Amino acid sequence: MIRILLADDHTIIRDGLKKILSTVPDMQVVAEAADGNELLALLRAGLPDVLLLDMSMPGRSGIVLIQQLQASYPALPVLVLSMYRESQYAVQAIRAGAAGYLSKNVESDQLIGAIRKVARGGTAVSAAIADKLIGQARQPLAALPHARLTARELQVFQMLAEGQGINEIASALSLSGKTVSTHKANILAKLELSSTAGLVHYAIRHGLLAEAGELGEASHTP
């Protein structure tokens, strides 16, 4: 029996995953977490066989959380199930220690197969992401400006592009507003941008968010 911990801040996503996995004889959802802090508390009480992790949750999340999990629980297979389709997030997640990365539009059979694979110690990514990873590995770093962002900068970048403000990000990540502002300045410098609006357009242009249409409001942020 593969014991699975689901970590996603959307109840409807967790319910959907539980419904899918309840039909699989060799899998059992043993715990659920809605944010990074709740997840860490559950892991301290006992490790599952596989952690199915959302890339973006309140509090600790994303690449920084994966790095923390790798440092504290190196034997725990982490399978990321994310709305972010762009290959750079997959690269960062795998480098941080994730055992796999799938988009949330993946078919149920693919998800079940990926869980079994990482539970056995393997690595699982979708065919589309694998192709992108190979292509990206052949590109010079200069061709991918956002590849120069650190894990924390990438996390702040995501949140800024989604329309979150400095104070909102600071609260979610338990950072000071000054620290978030510094990260923002570094991000803009590395991407050679001059404003949040430019950052949002960059995210849309490079496919760094799940749906560009969701950014209609954010694109007008000064």
Q: pLDDT by residue (tens digit) across 2-26?
A: 999 999 999 999 999 999 999 999 9
Kindly state the average pLDDT of the residues 110-132. Answer: 86
Q: Which residues of 123-134 are buried (b: 16+ CB within 10 A; e: fewer)?
A: ebbbeebeebbe
Whether 130 and 148 share a structural domain: no
Question: Would the CA dihedral through 84, 86, 87, 88 be positive or negative?
Answer: negative
Rounded Cα distance, 204 and 191, in Å: 14
Domain assignment of residue 173, given as a range? 142-220
Spatial contact of 79 and 115, defined as CB atoms under 8 Å apart: yes
Q: Are residues 148 and 130 in the same domain?
A: no
AA letter at 6: L
Instruction: Among 115, 137, 159, give the residue marking a domain's end.
Output: 137
pLDDT for 220 beyond 60: no
Question: How many structural domains compose the chain?
Answer: 2
The pLDDT tens digits for 81-110 are 987 765 667 877 887 889 999 988 889 999
Q: Which of 137, 157, 177 is the last residue of a domain?
A: 137
Tens-place pLDDT, residues 155-210: 899 889 888 899 999 988 888 999 999 999 999 998 888 888 888 888 877 767 64
28 backbone dihedrals φ, ψ, rounded to 5°: -145, 130
How far apart, in Å, are the Cα atoms of 86 and each of 91, 143, 167, 209?
9, 15, 27, 7
Q: What is the pLDDT of residue 162?
A: 84
Show the DSSP H helices in 55-107 as ranges.
62-72, 87-96
pLDDT of residue 86: 59
- Residues 68, 109, single domain; the answer is yes
Please tell me the predicted confidence (pLDDT) of residue 13: 93
Q: Within this chain, do residues 175 and 205 fall inside the same structural domain, yes or no?
A: yes
Instruction: Give every strand in the sheet of 50-53, ordered side by side.
Output: 27-33, 2-7, 50-53, 78-82, 100-103, 124-125
Residue 65: beta bridge partners?
none
- Give exposure, 151-172, as e/b (b: 16+ Cβ within 10 Å): bbbbbbbbbbbbbbebeebbeb
Q: Which of 92, 110, 137 is the last residue of a domain?
A: 137
Q: Is the dihedral of CA 136, 162, 215, 103 positive or negative?
A: positive
Is residue 124 over pLDDT 80? yes
pLDDT given at position 137:
60
At residue 111 the predicted structure's pLDDT band, cuts being 50, 70 and 90, is very high
Between 220 and 149, the higher pLDDT residue: 149
Contact 74, 129 (CB under 8 A): no
How many C-beta neighbours within 10 Å does residue 1 have?
9
Closest listed residue to residue 136, CA positions, set 204, 207, 70: 207
Please report the pLDDT score of residue 219 as a whole number. 35
132 and 178 co-located in one domain: no
> What is the C-alpha to C-alpha distance for residues 2 and 211, in angstroms, rounded to an integer?
33
pLDDT digits (tens, 9 = 90+) for 30-83: 999 999 889 999 999 999 999 999 988 877 778 888 888 988 999 999 999 987
pLDDT the model gives residue 62:
80
Query: How much is the pLDDT for 22?
Result: 95
